[in-house]
Amino acid sequence: MESPGKDWDEACHGLESRLAYLFADRRLLQTALTHRSWDRIKGEVPFMAGPHNERLEFLGDAVLNLVISEQLFQRLPAADEGVLSHWRAQLVNTTALAEMARSLGLGELLRLGRGEARSGGGEKPTLLADALEAVLGAMLLDGGLDAARTFILRQFDEGLAGAQPEHLRKDFKSLLQELLQAESRPLPHYQVVTLSGAPHERHFTVECRVEGVPPALGEGRSRRAAEHEAARLVFLSLDGPPPPARQEPNV
C-alpha cells in the first residue's frame, strides 16, 4: 500500500491531534477510515487500494465494550448484571458514537465509494459510529490496550460520571408520555423514516414529534429500539427529571 497524498496525510495529522494519539503505523489509521465501498474506485486512487475498516471495527467494538463494562463494574459495585447492561447500552450506542465521530471530524476523512458519498455517507450515523470503532481497533493494534483505554475514558468521562443506579427507572417512551400527560400536552407521534438492511440485519430510523419542540430521530435494530432512542432525545430536550439509563426494549 502506497503512502497517502499530502493533503490527506496532513488531515490525518490533524485527526491525530484531536485523538491525542500519534500512530506509529499510519496505515492502520488509513484502513480505519476506509469504507468497503471505496474498493469500487480503488483503481483510480492506488494508495487507498487495500483492506477496508470492517475488521478493525469488529476489534474496536470489542475493546470499547470491554473498557466500558470494566468501568461500570468498578463504579457500580452493588449493581446487578441487568443494571450494568442497561448503563452500557445508555453509553455505547450508534447515536452517541456518531456524535463523538462528528466531534472528531471523522466524516470528512472517510474514504467512500461514489454512490455512498453521493448519498451522504459521511454523515450517516451508522458509518460514523463504525468508523469510530475502527479507529479504536487501529489504536489497539498500534499502541495496545492502554492507549485504547486512555482514549475511551477521555471520551466517555462525563457519561461514566453520571452512571448512577438510582437513575435507572423506566424506559424513555414511558417517561416522555408521563411528562406530557402531567403537563396536559398532546402525546408524541412516532413515524418510521427509513428502513434498511437485510431481513436479519434491519436498521430503523424513527422520528418522534412532540408539539412545541424540534422532532428527533432515533436509530436501532428494531422499530421499538429506534422509538426508544427518539423518545430519549425528546425527553432530554424537555429538561425533564434526571435522565434514567437508556433501556433496550425486548425485541
Give catalytic residue positions: 61, 133
3-state secondary structure of 212: coil
CA distance linking residue 189 with residue 231, whole number of Å = 10
Helices vs. strands in the chain: H and E counts, helices first: 12, 3
Residue 133 CA: distances (Å) to CA of 57, 85, 113: 5, 19, 20
Residue 106's closest CA among 53, 47, 171, 49?
53
- Amino acid identity of 49? A
Return the half-sphere exposure (C-beta side, CA atoms, 13 A cut-off) of residue 227.
17
